[in-house]
Structure formats: C-alpha cells, structure tokens
Structure 1
Amino acid sequence: MITVWGGQTSRSIRAAWVLEEMGIPYRLRHVDMLAARREPEWLAVNPGDFLPAIQDGDVTMVESIAIMEYLMGRYGPTPMQPSTDDPAFATYQQFLHLGEAGLATLMMVPLVSGFIAPEAERDNWGARWARECVERRLLLVRRQLARAPYMAGERFTAADISVSYALNLGANHAGFVIGDAEADYLSRTTSRDAYKRAFDRSHEHPAV
C-alpha cells in the first residue's frame, strides 16, 4: 500500500487528494514539522526534511507535483490528467506547475518571514519581492477563471489540486487576499468528496 508522509496544512494534501480522486488506497503517516527533533524513520525517507513524501513499494518520492504526476502516470489513465493530444494539455501543464513554482513556493517567503523571522526582519525586501511576484502570477489564474471554471477548461484536473492548495495557503496563512472569482473557484474544488476525505484524513492526529 502507498504511504503518504504528511501533516496538517502541508502539501501532502495534494498527494492524498489525487489518491482519493483515483480511488487508490493509501495510509497517511503524520510528521510533526514543529517538533524539535524528527523521527529517524522520517529522516531516512527524506533527509531533506520537507513534506510530502510517498513510498510505493521500492519507490520513494518527494516534491508534491512530481508525486502527483507519478501517481497519475503509474496508476492512470485518469481524467485528472489530459492526454498529450488533448487541446487542454498545454494549459493543464502550465497551471499544474504554476500552482507550486509560481505561487506556493513564493508564498512561503512572506509566510515564513511573517511567522518565524525576528520582528525586525519580518518586513524584508525578499518577502516584499516574493509577494509582488505572487500577485502578478495570480493574474494568470484570474484570467483563466474569466474564461473557464477550471484551470484546464471545463473539467476538473490535477492542475486544480495544485492551484487550489496554493490559493488556500496564500489566503489562510500568508495574508493574500483572494477575489470573488478565486473564492468561487475554491468552493467548487474543495466541495468535492475526494478533497473532503483527504482533508479529514490529513487532520487526524496521529494520522495512520
């Protein structure tokens, strides 16, 4: 059985959400990223000490977008991943990766600066720069939502899992203000039964 290493509010929700959408059984191992010391078993899985990670037989993977692509490629086909000859494929690919590389990763800079940095260092140049970059990239999301209900067009895909996580992270933890279009979009994506199951499991403690 696939093991997902994760924790509350972590990117592991992406892996769990894909697995729930595909109906693939998995177990969730909780990692407390605020603990002073990590479990040796976890560090043996990912010595880089960041979430998520999965174990699937002899396969161990980190990086949430790569994990989603692996799961869909290994256990698909799935409607969440358009085929390469689908007209929506290029848009799907763009937003699948934008959700992490263009949004969530940059959001971490003002988030960490605001909550962890010493008071005098919280409003720093790097955090302000990252926030401005995110705001510009969000224009791509808003333009897409003006055209279609989902990131790849008319149907839900893994690109929506990627972007939905980033929007939730920004709005709930990094002080970004989302507009009505983004709020309506999140209502559509997070009302899915698969998301609710993944969310509930990720908030069990300890998750097993």
Structure 2
Amino acid sequence: MITVFGEGRGLRVVWLLEEMALAYRLRPVDLLAGAEEDAEFFAINPAGFIPAIRDGDVTMVESIAIMEYVMARYGPTPLAPDPQDPAFPAYQQFLHLGEAGLATAMFFYVNARRLPTEAEQRNPTAAHTLAQFESRMDLVTRQLERTPYLAGETFTASDISVTYALNLAERGGGVVFDKAVQTYLERIRGRGAYGRALDACGATKAWYASAEDQ
C-alpha cells in the first residue's frame, strides 16, 4: 500500500490515487511543529517538505513526479495519454504548468498576503509572482476556450495538477476567475474522486471551507 505523507500538494497525489482506485494511507505531517520533530517523516524526506510517498522500497517527493511515477508504475491509465496520442503534448504542458507556472507563484503570493501590513503585502516580489501567475493563466483560459479539459476532450492528470493551483489561488490568493474557468472548476470539483480526496484530506477541506466563508 502506498503511504502519502502530508496534505497540501499531497491532495494531488491522493486525488490521483482515488481516480485510479489504488489503495493508500494518508499520513498527516505537522510542518508547523517542525519536520525534524517527526522522525518517520524526516527519514523519508530530510528536506522537510510535503508531499512524500513510500511505496514498498520506493520513496519519492515532489507531487508531479509522484503522479508520473504512480501512473507509470500502476498504469496504463487514461489519466496519462500515450505519447502517440494527439492529446499528449497538451497533457504534458499543463501537468507541469500546474506546479511550475501556477502553484509555485501563487504559493509565494499567498504567503505575502499573510504579512501584517498592506505595504508589506504589496512588496515587489508579491507583485511579480501574481503577474507571473496571471500570465500563465492566459494559457489555461485559452485552452479552455477550445476544449472542456486541459488536454482535450478527456479528463487527465493535468487537470488534477492545475486544479490544485486554481484552488490555492481562489481560496488563498483571493483570485476571482472568469466564467469559463469557474465552469471548468465546477465540472472538475463534481468528480467523485475529487470529493473522496477532499474527505481524506480533512485539513485541506476545512481550509477551503473557511476561505469560502471569508
């Protein structure tokens, strides 16, 4: 059985496992207490960030790398189009854009919003990361004007990757998306596997709910 350490970006991994109907155990990690205080987790990832997985003798970190590993190891799965499939280039692009272009920028912007004064919150780094996020969102919006999912006509892991980033932006960054993106998110969030993943990731689900109430 695969053990997933930590929520946050671990939601991507749990959601993927739910989509693929694979058995897993979610092991909470309290980063506020310090990873070095959690001996089991620290042995898995001494760098101290989440998520990480343990799958037999395999340990891995980085949510997108973990997703690719799971799909390759336990596939084939329609969540990862074959390289000869016309949908493959878009799938690859948005799978990685979800983290490299969207979630990473939004992570720093969300943290800036927690600073005590408005002047600190509007620092140059925060402005730059928000601008980066918005420029990459143009790629998402343009794609959704063409197709119902990011890789084309079918839901894939690229939608899992990007939806995590959009959730972070909406719930943590106060970003308001246009109608096309909102419609896309409603469709994605209606998936049974997404709901089961959120139920498993209770802390994430609670944070999403509290953000909606603000």
Task: Please say whether Structure 1 and Structure 2 have the same fold, judged by a TM-score greater than 0.5.
Answer: yes
Please state if 1:3 is matched with 2:3: yes
Q: For residues 5 and 24 of structure 2, what CA distance do their matches in structure 1 show?
A: 10
Q: CA deviation digits over 1:58-84, x for unaligned, max 9?
A: 111010000000000000000000000
Alignment of 1:189-208 (within 5 A): 189-203=188-202
Equivalent residue runs for 1:45-194 within 5 Å:
45-115=44-114, 117-119=115-117, 121-194=120-193
What secondary structure does 2:27 align onto? strand
**Alignment-mate amino acid for residue 94 of structure 1:** Q
d(CA) in 2 for partners of 1:159, 1:22: 14
Gapped regions of structure 2 (runs ≥ 5): 205-214
Secondary structure at the aligned position of 1:61 is classed as strand
Secondary structure class of the residue paired with 1:28: strand
Between the aligned partners of 1:100 and 1:108, the Cα distance in structure 2 is 10
In structure 2, distance between residues paired with 1:128 and 1:22: 38
**2:20 matches 1:22:** yes
- Aligned residue pairs total 202
- In structure 1, C-alpha distance between the alignment counterparts of 2:17 and 2:134, rounded to whole Å: 30
Q: Where is the helix percentage greater, Structure 1 or Structure 2?
A: 2
> Which amino acid is 1:4 matched to?
V
**What is the Cα-based RMSD across aligned positions, in Å?**
1.5
Deviates more, 1:43-52 or 1:56-65: 43-52
CA distance in 1, matches of 2:136, 2:188: 20
Find the aligned partners of 2:4 and 2:143 in 1 and give their Cα distance. Answer: 31
Alpha-carbon displacement from aligned partner over 1:103-126 (angstroms, at most 9, x marks no partner): 0001111111111x4535322101
Instruction: Give the Cα separation in 2 of the matches to 1:87 and 1:161.
Output: 19
Q: TM-score, normalised by structure 1?
A: 0.93
1:12 aligns with 2:10: yes
The CA distance in 1 between the partners of 2:203 and 2:21, in whole Å, is 20
SS, match of residue 31 in structure 2? coil
User: Cα offset for 1:34?
Assistant: 2.5
In the aligned structure 2, how far is the partner of 1:41 from the partner of 1:49?
11
Q: What CA distance in whole angstroms lies between the structure 2 residues aligned with 1:204 and 1:176?
A: 21
Residue 133 to residue 56, structure 1, CA distance change in 2 (3 Å): same
Higher relative contact order (CA 8 A, sep 6+): 1
User: TM-score scaled to structure 2, two decimals?
Assistant: 0.90
- Residue identity over aligned pairs, in percent, reads 55
* Separation of aligned partners in 2, 1:21 and 1:176: 27
Report SS of the residue matched to 2:197. Answer: helix
Aligned-residue offset at 1:17: 0.7
- Which SS does the other structure have where 2:32 is aligned? coil
Q: Which amino acid aligns with 1:6?
A: G
